[in-house]
Structure 1
Amino acid sequence: MTQRKRGRALGLPFPGTAGLWNAITDVPGVELGEVTLISGEGPLRPGHGPVRTGVTAILPRGKAKAHVPCAAGYYSLNGNGEMTGVVWIEESGELQTPITITNTHSCGVTRDATIRWLVGRGVGTGQDWGLPVAAETYDGDLNDINGFHVTAEHTIAALDSARSGPIPMGSVGGGTGMLTYDFKAGNGSASRVVDIAGGRYTLGVFVQSNFGRREDFTVLGVPAGRHLLHGKLRGKEQGSVIAIVATDAPLMAHQLKRLARRVPLGLARTGTVGNNSSGDIFLAFSTANEQAFSLRSGLLHMEALGNGDIDQLFTATVEATEEAVIDSMLMADTMVGRDGNTAIALPADELLTLMTRFGRM
């Protein structure tokens, strides 16, 4: 097995200035953890395997400040999917819990386990109940999805293991069994650093990437999928994508919703059109204004960028989304799952040859 490399390491000229780790964890305070479940091979035996799944946990302010909400907004491009807790986010403008992402039939497990984790740590959510954010994409092409292998204990382990710094990408955590443009994919992330109104801010995007028709696959404007047609497993548009946008720029809930609405522009750069079968759901949050969000009543004082100053954050969202999707593919190895189903890795050497031929290198 060869060592997989991210797009920038391969020389792909993605625009924008990335942070230190080029990941959502470049945003100060954000922590990410995951549990990966891989076992068994051969014919599908529901309840036994093969297992190719997992769970990813994102803590906006880290474990130490999990009780402090963030301003947040969400957007659904196509709703054939699930992200719990967004009704309250739309109402309150706040994200009050960690985020978990897993496979479609384990979404409820990770949601409930997040409450257990919060209660077990004596953290709470600032009120007498919790409405955690849990999201999903479908991994049944490779995984025994009806075997319900993700447990509350796995979720709690992912939350407990959350950390800052560089994060693993590709076939890990909730992204273990996912495909994108009919190549093996999974988790991807990227970040951008921007200077606005006298301040320097970081924006990071995380994707659990599981969508796309091979023929539509595009890299920096190059129609790569039309030239890499071998080894398709799905052979059709199927799947979903969850994107989480984090920033330390001071933004209000309605501005964060506007960031979430820019995620589809980054996805479109990779070729997708958001088909009927795809659940394309996005959440954006800001870690700014911590002191104000630590209070649950009284007169709160917050800072916010003016709407005229957030174009660079729109650009950062689009650029980081595009790069995160491509890296979710480049960092994933070929995987054999249930019934011998094989999701091939994106061949980096063939891609680079195409990029050179089209003048992008």
Structure 2
Amino acid sequence: GSVGGGTGMIAFGFKAGSGTASRIVEWHGRRYTVGAFVQANFGKRSNFTIRGLRAGPDLVEPAIRESTPHAEKGSIIGVVATDAPLLPHQMKRLARRAPLGVAMTGGFGYHSSGDIFLAFSTANREAALAPSGRIASADFIPDTDIDPFFDAVIECVEEAILNALVANDDMTGRDGNFVPALPKAWLKGKFGASQGK
């Protein structure tokens, strides 16, 4: 939500900020976690999409009020973490899937976007500490089996962005600037019944 660097963030004209989400990926009897952290500060209201529904046209109000002129800019920072044993080139491939999660929410990476994504694995610690003069080895999941991890990254990034929006309340700043929270009543009415909530 609106903590630390997330305090000034706005996404799709709603108060945004920091969000997280995770998935479990099962691979040959083992379970690995894929998690994502985002700082969401991007997107046009008209493009906003929730779980495949183009929600922007339904959410013209409440409107953002900006009394202080500023250049139109947006950005998102996303960090993907996993305990799955993957090699550096595989981690780059995971990081490259993060923008697909952004696109699922209606973020299209416009001209002024400054987007940063990175990914890391906590596996193979012993390989990094291997003593000099010996052959070191590292475990890794074959490239041909990596697709479920791509799915997890895309789903995590999408959900982390939505969680950043849901976790927030209206914010009023100096000079009468006002950023509304994503309307919870609308969200519950649109999605709550289908989820039994």
Distance 1:314 1:233, change over 3 A: farther
Contact residue 15 and residue 168 of structure 2 kept, 8 A: yes
Q: Deviations over 1:113-148 (max 9, x none)?
A: xxxxxxxxxxxxxxxxxxxxxxxxxxxxxxxxxxxx
Secondary structure of the structure 2 residue equivalent to 1:255: helix
Q: Which of residues 71, 77, 82 in structure 2 aligns to 1:242?
A: 77
Q: Which residue of the partner structure matches residue 273 of structure 1?
A: 108
What are the equivalent positions in structure 2 for 1:62-141 lying under 5 Å apart? none
What are the equivalent positions in structure 2 for 1:135-150 lying under 5 Å apart? none
Contact residue 212 and residue 237 of structure 1 kept, 8 A: no
1:214 aligns to 2:45 (yes or no): yes
Shift of 1:238: 3.0
Amino acid at match of 1:312: P
Contact residue 233 and residue 342 of structure 1 kept, 8 A: yes
Say what the alpha-carbon RMSD is for the aligned residues. Answer: 2.1
Shift of 1:274: 0.5
**Quick check: 236-245 or 340-349, which moved more?**
236-245
Secondary structure of the structure 2 residue equivalent to 1:261: helix
Secondary structure of the structure 1 residue equivalent to 2:187: helix
Percent identity, aligned pairs only, is: 52
The whole-number CA distance in structure 1 between the counterparts of 2:191 and 2:95 is: 29
The whole-number CA distance in structure 2 between the counterparts of 1:284 and 1:247 is: 8
Contact residue 65 and residue 176 of structure 2 kept, 8 A: no
What are the equivalent positions in structure 2 for 1:11-50 lying under 5 Å apart? none
Query: Please, what TM-score do these two structures have when normalized by structure 1?
Result: 0.50
Q: Which of residues 32, 36, 43 in structure 2 aligns to 1:205?
A: 36
Q: Which consecutive residues of structure 2, in runs of 5 or more, have no partner in the other structure?
A: none
Secondary structure of the structure 2 residue equivalent to 1:282: strand
Q: How many aligned residue pairs are there?
A: 191
Bigger RCO of structures 1 and 2 (CA < 8 A, at least 6 apart): 2
Contact residue 224 and residue 354 of structure 1 kept, 8 A: no
Query: Please, what TM-score do these two structures have when normalized by structure 2?
Result: 0.90
Q: Deviations over 1:73-125 (max 9, x none)?
A: xxxxxxxxxxxxxxxxxxxxxxxxxxxxxxxxxxxxxxxxxxxxxxxxxxxxx
Contact residue 193 and residue 203 of structure 1 kept, 8 A: yes
Distance 1:308 1:178, change over 3 A: same
The whole-number CA distance in structure 2 between the counterparts of 1:302 and 1:348 is: 47
Secondary structure of the structure 1 residue equivalent to 2:111: coil
Amino acid at match of 1:277: S
